[in-house]
Chains A and B, each alone.
Chain A
C-alpha cells in the first residue's frame, strides 16, 4: 500500500502507518503532481506544474512573490481544485477529493499565516490536530513538547497570545498531531526573527532525520530553505523552471541573482 520511509531508528515517533521499505527500483513517488493547472477565476496561477516528492525527502519550492507557491500547496489540498492534471499521494489519486479527506489520507499542512485558533489554549489547538483523524493525542502531544519545549511552557495559554515564532511552532506541532506521512509547510519563516527561523528549520530537519517525515516546504527564504532541503524546485509565474538538489540550485548563478541577492 503505502511507501512510508524505512528505518526510523531512535525516532521521536514513527509516522502513523508503518510502511514497508520500498524495494530498490520500484520507488513510487509519495506525492506526484502531473501537469496540474489551477486558476482563480480567469487568472491562471499554475500552468502545468509537475513535481514529485519521494518518501523521506525534504523538498522545497522557492520562487518570488506571486509565483504561485502557496497556490501549489493549496491545490494539493484541493482548494483551489486542479483544473487539469493529476495529483497522486502514495499512488492514490487525490485530485478531486474534498479537503478534509485529503487531510485524512495522511497529508498535513501548516497553512499560510499559521492559522492557529487564537481563543483556544495551546493544548486545545494541538488536540484539534488529532481530533478529526481520531488519533490518540497523547503521543503527538509528547512529540510536540519534546520538539518545541516552549509549547509545553505555554500549554494553558491562549494561542492568540503567543509570539509569532511560538505560533509557527504551534502550527507545525498541530499539523503533526495527526501523525501525517507528508507535511506541507507554507512559509514557516514568514515574519520571524532569524534566530527563531533557525530553531524552526532545525526542528524540521530533526523530524525528517529521526522520523523519516516527508516534507514539502514553500519558502521565500531561499538560502536557508535550499540548505535544508534535499531537492528543490523553482517556480516562476506558475511554471517550474528549475529542479535540482539543494546544493545544485544554491550554486546556480541565476538562482543567486534572483533569490539569494548578489554579493
Chain B
C-alpha cells in the first residue's frame, strides 16, 4: 500500500472484532448488561437465611453474651440476652428478604447509571454556580447564626483540604493516608512563627505553604518507587511520625500542651478587637463593635483560600503538568515510555497538594488560636480521604459536595448522640453502594473540541469489582 492513509476495507465503519460500534451509542456505557435473571422466591429465602446465619454468628458473641459484676462477691457473671439476638437476626432476615424481593419485583432495569450521569451533568451545570453564590452570600443571609458561620468555616476548611488532597489522590493517583501531616506542618509553622517572632498572618501564610510543600517533597522522595498499598502504608507512617514528633519535641512545640495565644489575622492591618478601639476594623468602618465581624472575616478568608485551591487545580489540569498527573494515575510505565519525568511529576503533585494542606493548617491555627497534636490524628487524614473518595476522585464539585454532606451532616446529626457514628457510617456505605465511583464520577476532558463531553465513571476501572 503506498498511500499514507489506511482505508477501511469495505468502507463500512466496523470494529475489528465485528461487534456493533460502541461509539455510536453516545453516553450509554458498553457494560449496560442484559437484565440478570430474576431470582425466584426460594433463592431470595435462601439468601436471606444465609445473611441471618452470618448475623447470628456475629450477634451471639457481640450481643448475646454479656458479663456483669455479680452483686454478691464482686465476681463476673455471664448474662445471656437471647431475645435481643433473636430480634436482630430476624431484622436482618426480614430486611435481606425484602431487598431480594424488591430486586425481583421492581420494574424492568434501565441503564440506571447512564441516566444518573446524564442527570448529574445537567444538574452539575447549575449546582456549582448555585453553591458558589450560596457560599458567597451565606454570612449575609437572614437566618445565619454565629453557629452556622462556624459550621460554614469548618465545612470550607474540609473543602479546601479535600481539594488539596484531590491533587495528590484524585489527579496523580498517589494514595496518601498521611495528608494531615501537611495540615499540621502548616498549623505549627504559623503558630510558632507568629508566637515566636511576632510575624503577621499574611507573612506566615505563604511560609506555611512553602514549608508544607518542602515536607511534601521530603515525603515524596522515599516513596517515589511505591504505589498503591505500599505508598498508603508509608504515608500513613509519615503522618504519625509528624504527630509524634510534635508531641515529643516539647521545647519547640510545647508537646501535648500545644501552642496557645496564636494571634488572629488582621484585615489589611485592622485588627478585630472586641472593644473596637482605635485602629480596629469596626472603628475604621464606623461599625458597632461585634465579635461576629471576625467570624465573617474568617469565613471569607477560608472561602478565598478554598477557591484559590480550586482555581489552581482547574488551571493546572489544563496544562502539561496536570495532564502528566492524570496520565501518571492512568499508567506510570506508559508515562516513562513517553519521556515524562515521572520523578518530577510525582514530587510536584506531593508538593502542591501539601502546600494547600499547609495553607489550610495556617488558617486552622489562626482561627482556633490554640493548636495541639490532638488535632492532627489519623482520623483527620481518613476523613479528608473519605471526602475525596466519596466525592469522586478528581472531581472538584464532588469533593465540595462530599465535604458538605460529611462535615455538615455530622453536625446535623448531633442530636442523635451515640447513634451519630452509626448514622454517619451507614451514610458512607449507602453512598458507596449507590455511587461506587463517588458522587460525581464523570471526568471532563481537559481539552475538548467545541462541545464538552464528560466521561462517565461507569466506563472506567475505579470502583468496578
Chain A residues proximal to chain B, CB less than 8 Å: 12, 77, 79, 99-101, 103-104, 108-109, 111, 115-121, 123-124, 127-129, 131-133, 146-150, 153-158, 160-161, 163-166, 174-175, 178, 192-193, 195-196, 199, 202-203, 205-206, 209-210
Contacts and interface: CB of A to CB of B under 8 A. Distances in A.
B323 A146 contact: no
Given A128-B323, A131-B323, A148-B6, A103 B334 contact: no
A156 to B, nearest CB: 6
Contact of B16 (A79, A132, A155, A163): A163
Given A161-B459, A199-B9, 12 more contacts: A111-B333, A111-B337, A117-B326, A117-B331, A119-B443, A119-B455, A128-B340, A129-B338, A132-B338, A133-B339, A153-B13, A160-B460
Contact of A156 (B5, B331, B453): B453
A16 B22 CA distance: 36
Interface residues of B, number: 45
Nearest to A130: B338
A160 B459 contact: yes
A131 B338 CA distance: 9
B459 A202 contact: no
A195 B334 CA distance: 26
Interface string B301-331: 0000000000000000000100110110011
B23 A117 contact: no
A206 B9 contact: no
B1 A205 contact: yes
A163 to B, nearest CB: 4
Contacts of B8: 149-150
B341 A132 contact: yes
B394 to A, nearest CB: 9
Contacts of B461: 118, 160
B115 interface: no
Interface of B: 1-9, 13, 15-18, 22-23, 30, 320, 323-324, 326-327, 330-331, 333-342, 443, 445-449, 453, 455, 459-461
Contacts of A178: 338-339
B440 to A, nearest CB: 14
B150 to A, nearest CB: 39
B12 to A, nearest CB: 12
A119 B453 CA distance: 13
A259 to B, nearest CB: 24
Contacts of A129: 338
A101 B337 CA distance: 10
A133 B333 CA distance: 16
B23 A161 contact: yes
A77 B339 CA distance: 10
Contact of B445 (A121, A165, A195): A121
A43 B302 CA distance: 56
Nearest to A205: B1
A77 B333 CA distance: 11
Contacts of A115: 331, 333-334, 337
21 contacts: A100-B341, A100-B342, A104-B339, A111-B334, A118-B330, A118-B461, A123-B449, A124-B323, A131-B320, A132-B341, A146-B5, A147-B4, A148-B6, A154-B23, A160-B460, A163-B16, A164-B16, A175-B338, A196-B16, A206-B1, A206-B4
Contact of B446 (A103, A124, A147, A153): A124
Given A156-B445, A193-B16, A149 B337 contact: no
Given A117-B330, A118-B460, A131-B323, A109 B337 contact: yes
Nearest to A110: B337
A139 B15 CA distance: 27
Given A146-B4, A148-B6, A124 B447 contact: yes
A119 B330 contact: yes
A116 B459 contact: no
A158 B337 contact: no
Contact of B455 (A108, A148, A158, A199): A158
A161 B30 contact: yes
A210 B22 contact: no
A160 B22 CA distance: 12
A127 B448 CA distance: 12
Contacts of B335: 128
B336 A120 contact: no
Given A133-B339, A149-B6, A161-B23, A120 B16 contact: no
A109 B1 CA distance: 24
A192 B16 contact: yes
Contact of B5 (A128, A149, A157, A193): A149
Nearest to A109: B337
Given A120-B445, A124-B446, A165 B3 contact: no
Nearest to A145: B5
B6 A203 contact: yes
A100 B335 CA distance: 8
A209 B3 CA distance: 10
Contacts of A100: 336, 339-342
Q: List the 8 closest pairs (A to B, CB-CB), nearest first.
A: A103-B339, A132-B339, A115-B334, A165-B16, A196-B16, A117-B330, A99-B336, A193-B16
A160 to B, nearest CB: 6
Contacts of A160: 459-461
A164 B6 contact: no
A106 to B, nearest CB: 10
A153 B14 CA distance: 12
A214 B330 CA distance: 29
Contacts of A155: 449
Nearest to B320: A131
Contacts of A163: 15-17
Given A161-B22, A203-B6, A127 B323 contact: yes
A119 B15 contact: no
B28 to A, nearest CB: 11
A148 B3 CA distance: 12
B217 to A, nearest CB: 19
